[in-house]
A and B are shown apart, each in its own frame.
Chain A
Amino acid sequence: MKTVLSIEGLTVALPPGADRPHALEDVSLALSANEILCVVGESGSGKSMMTGALLGLLPEGVRATAGKILFDGEDLLTLGDAALRKIRGARIGMVFQEPMTALNPLRTIGDQIAEMFRTHTDLVSAEITQRVIDLLRDVHIPHPEEARRAYPHELSGGQRQRAMIAMALALEPRVLIADEPTTALDVTTQAQILKLIRELQQRKGTAVLFITHDFGVVAEIADRVAVMQRGRLVEAGRAEDILKRPQHLYTKALIAAVPPLVPPPPKAVTAEPILRIEHVSKTYRKGGLWSRHRRVTHAVQDANLVLPRGGTLGIVGESGSGKSTLARCIVRLLDPDSGSIHLGGTDLARLSRSAMREQTRRIQMVFQDPFASLNPRRRAGELVAQGPIIHGETPAKALAKAKDMFALVGLDPDATERYPHEFSGGQRQRIGLARALALEPEVLVADEPVSALDVSVQAQVLRLLADLRSRLGLSVVFITHDLRVAAQICDRIAVMKSGVVVEEGRTAEVFGAPRHSYTRALLASVPGRGWTPPERSDVLLAAP
Chain B
Amino acid sequence: MRVLLLALRRLAASLPTLFVLLVGLFLLLQLAPGDTVDALVAQIGGGDPTMIEELRRYYGLDVSVAVQLGRYVWRLLQLDLGYSAIYGKPVADVILERLPATLLLMGSALSFAFAAGMALGVLAARRVNRWPDTLISTLGLIFYATPSFWFGLMGIVIFAVKLGWLPAGGFEEIGAGYTGFRRVADIAWHLLLPTLTLALIFLATYLRIMRASMLEVMNLDFVRTAKAKGLSPGRVITAHVLRNALLPMVTLIGLQAGTMLGGSVVVESVFALPGLGRLAYEAVVQRDLNTLLGIVFVSALLVIVINFIVDLLYARLDPRIAT
The answer to whether residues A85 and B231 also contact, given A115-B239, A151-B319, A153-B320 and a CB cut-off of 8 A, is yes
The residues of A that contact B319 with a CB separation of less than 8 Å are 105-106, 151, 153
Q: How far is the CA of A405 from the CA of B298 in the complex (A)?
A: 65
* B230 and A89 contact, CB distance less than 8 A: yes
Residue of A nearest to B235 (CB): A119
* A119 and B318 contact, CB distance less than 8 A: no
* A88 and B222 contact, CB distance less than 8 A: no
- Scan B228-247; emit 1 where CB is below 8 A from any A CB, else 0: 11111001000110011000
From DSSP, what is the main secondary structure of chain B's interface residues? helix
* B240 and A104 contact, CB distance less than 8 A: yes
Chain A: residues with Cβ within 8 Å of the partner, total of: 27
Asked if A156 is at the interface (CB within 8 A of a chain B CB), the reply is no
Asked if A94 is at the interface (CB within 8 A of a chain B CB), the reply is yes
Name B186-244 residues within 8 Å CB distance of A.
220-222, 224-232, 235, 239-240, 243-244
* B228 and A103 contact, CB distance less than 8 A: no
The residues of A that contact B317 with a CB separation of less than 8 Å are 106
The residues of B that contact A120 with a CB separation of less than 8 Å are 230
Asked if A516 is at the interface (CB within 8 A of a chain B CB), the reply is no
The residues of A that contact B235 with a CB separation of less than 8 Å are 119
Q: How far is the CA of A143 from the CA of B225 in the complex (A)?
A: 24
The residues of A that contact B227 with a CB separation of less than 8 Å are 55, 57, 88
Asked if A334 is at the interface (CB within 8 A of a chain B CB), the reply is no
The residues of B that contact A390 with a CB separation of less than 8 Å are none
- Scan B279-323; emit 1 where CB is below 8 A from any A CB, else 0: 000000000000000000000000000000000000001111010
Q: How far is the CA of A12 from the CA of B229 in the complex (A)?
A: 23
Asked if A65 is at the interface (CB within 8 A of a chain B CB), the reply is no
Asked if A101 is at the interface (CB within 8 A of a chain B CB), the reply is yes
* B225 and A94 contact, CB distance less than 8 A: yes
Q: Among the listed A119, A151, A153, which residue makes an inter-chain contact with B229, where contact means beta carbons less than 8 Å apart?
A: A119
Q: How far is the CA of A167 from the CA of B228 in the complex (A)?
A: 11
Name A80-126 residues within 8 Å CB distance of B.
85-90, 94, 96, 98, 101-107, 115-116, 119-120
* A57 and B228 contact, CB distance less than 8 A: yes
The residues of A that contact B243 with a CB separation of less than 8 Å are 106
* B230 and A96 contact, CB distance less than 8 A: no
* B231 and A102 contact, CB distance less than 8 A: no
Chain B: residues with Cβ within 8 Å of the partner, total of: 22
In the assembled complex, the CB of B282 is this many whole angstroms from the nearest CB of chain A, namely 43
Q: How far is the CA of A101 from the CA of B231 in the complex (A)?
A: 18
* A96 and B224 contact, CB distance less than 8 A: yes
The answer to whether residues A102 and B221 also contact, given A57-B228, A88-B227, A115-B231 and a CB cut-off of 8 A, is yes
The answer to whether residues A87 and B230 also contact, given A98-B221, A101-B221, A105-B222 and a CB cut-off of 8 A, is yes
The residues of B that contact A88 with a CB separation of less than 8 Å are 227-230
The residues of A that contact B318 with a CB separation of less than 8 Å are 105-106
In the assembled complex, the CB of B6 is this many whole angstroms from the nearest CB of chain A, namely 11
Best-buried of A104, A115, A119 by chain B (most CB within 10 Å): A104
The residues of B that contact A106 with a CB separation of less than 8 Å are 243-244, 317-319
The residues of A that contact B240 with a CB separation of less than 8 Å are 104, 107
Name B80-120 residues within 8 Å CB distance of A.
none
Q: How far is the CA of A153 from the CA of B319 in the complex (A)?
A: 9
Residue of B nearest to A115 (CB): B229
In the assembled complex, the CB of A408 is this many whole angstroms from the nearest CB of chain B, namely 39
Q: Among the listed A104, A151, A153, A293, which residue makes an inter-chain contact with B222, where contact means beta carbons less than 8 Å apart?
A: A104
In the assembled complex, the CB of A233 is this many whole angstroms from the nearest CB of chain B, namely 23
In the assembled complex, the CB of A76 is this many whole angstroms from the nearest CB of chain B, namely 13
The answer to whether residues A151 and B320 also contact, given A105-B222, A115-B239 and a CB cut-off of 8 A, is yes
The residues of A that contact B239 with a CB separation of less than 8 Å are 107, 115
* A103 and B229 contact, CB distance less than 8 A: no
* B222 and A119 contact, CB distance less than 8 A: no
In the assembled complex, the CB of B177 is this many whole angstroms from the nearest CB of chain A, namely 51
The residues of A that contact B231 with a CB separation of less than 8 Å are 85, 89, 115, 119
- Scan A140-154; emit 1 where CB is below 8 A from any B CB, else 0: 000000000001010
Residue of B nearest to A106 (CB): B243
Name B225-278 residues within 8 Å CB distance of A.
225-232, 235, 239-240, 243-244
Q: How far is the CA of A529 from the CA of B283 in the complex (A)?
A: 81
Q: How far is the CA of A106 from the CA of B241 in the complex (A)?
A: 10
In the assembled complex, the CB of A441 is this many whole angstroms from the nearest CB of chain B, namely 39
The residues of A that contact B228 with a CB separation of less than 8 Å are 55, 57, 88-89, 94, 96
The residues of B that contact A164 with a CB separation of less than 8 Å are 225
* A102 and B222 contact, CB distance less than 8 A: yes
Residue of A nearest to B220 (CB): A101
Q: How far is the CA of A288 from the CA of B231 in the complex (A)?
A: 42
The residues of B that contact A55 with a CB separation of less than 8 Å are 227-228
In the assembled complex, the CB of A209 is this many whole angstroms from the nearest CB of chain B, namely 13
Q: How far is the CA of A344 from the CA of B243 in the complex (A)?
A: 56
Name A280-309 residues within 8 Å CB distance of B.
293
Name A167-204 residues within 8 Å CB distance of B.
167
Q: How far is the CA of A119 from the CA of B235 in the complex (A)?
A: 9
In the assembled complex, the CB of B240 is this many whole angstroms from the nearest CB of chain A, namely 5
- Scan A21-49; emit 1 where CB is below 8 A from any B CB, else 0: 00000000000000000000000000000
The residues of A that contact B322 with a CB separation of less than 8 Å are 293
The residues of B that contact A115 with a CB separation of less than 8 Å are 226, 229, 231, 239
Q: How far is the CA of A311 from the CA of B221 in the complex (A)?
A: 42
* A104 and B230 contact, CB distance less than 8 A: no
Residue of B nearest to A86 (CB): B230
Q: How far is the CA of A94 from the CA of B221 in the complex (A)?
A: 12
Q: How far is the CA of A103 from the CA of B320 in the complex (A)?
A: 13
The residues of B that contact A119 with a CB separation of less than 8 Å are 229-231, 235
In the assembled complex, the CB of A195 is this many whole angstroms from the nearest CB of chain B, namely 23
* B230 and A90 contact, CB distance less than 8 A: yes
In the assembled complex, the CB of B188 is this many whole angstroms from the nearest CB of chain A, namely 35
Q: How far is the CA of A127 from the CA of B68 in the complex (A)?
A: 72
* A103 and B225 contact, CB distance less than 8 A: yes
Residue of B nearest to A51 (CB): B228
Q: How far is the CA of A89 from the CA of B320 in the complex (A)?
A: 27
- Scan A250-273; emit 1 where CB is below 8 A from any B CB, else 0: 000000000000000000000000
Q: How far is the CA of A57 from the CA of B236 in the complex (A)?
A: 14
Best-buried of B226, B235, B244, B322 by chain A (most CB within 10 Å): B226
3 closest A-B pairs (Cβ-Cβ)? A89-B230, A88-B230, A89-B229
Binding site for A on B (CB under 8 A): 220-222, 224-232, 235, 239-240, 243-244, 317-320, 322
- In the complex, besides A105-B244, A293-B322, 18 extra interface pairs with C-beta distance below 8 angstroms are A55-B227, A55-B228, A86-B230, A88-B227, A88-B230, A89-B230, A96-B221, A104-B226, A105-B222, A105-B318, A105-B319, A106-B243, A106-B244, A106-B317, A115-B231, A116-B230, A119-B229, A119-B231
9 A-B interface contacts by CB (under 8 A): A57-B224, A89-B228, A94-B228, A105-B318, A106-B319, A107-B239, A115-B231, A116-B230, A167-B225
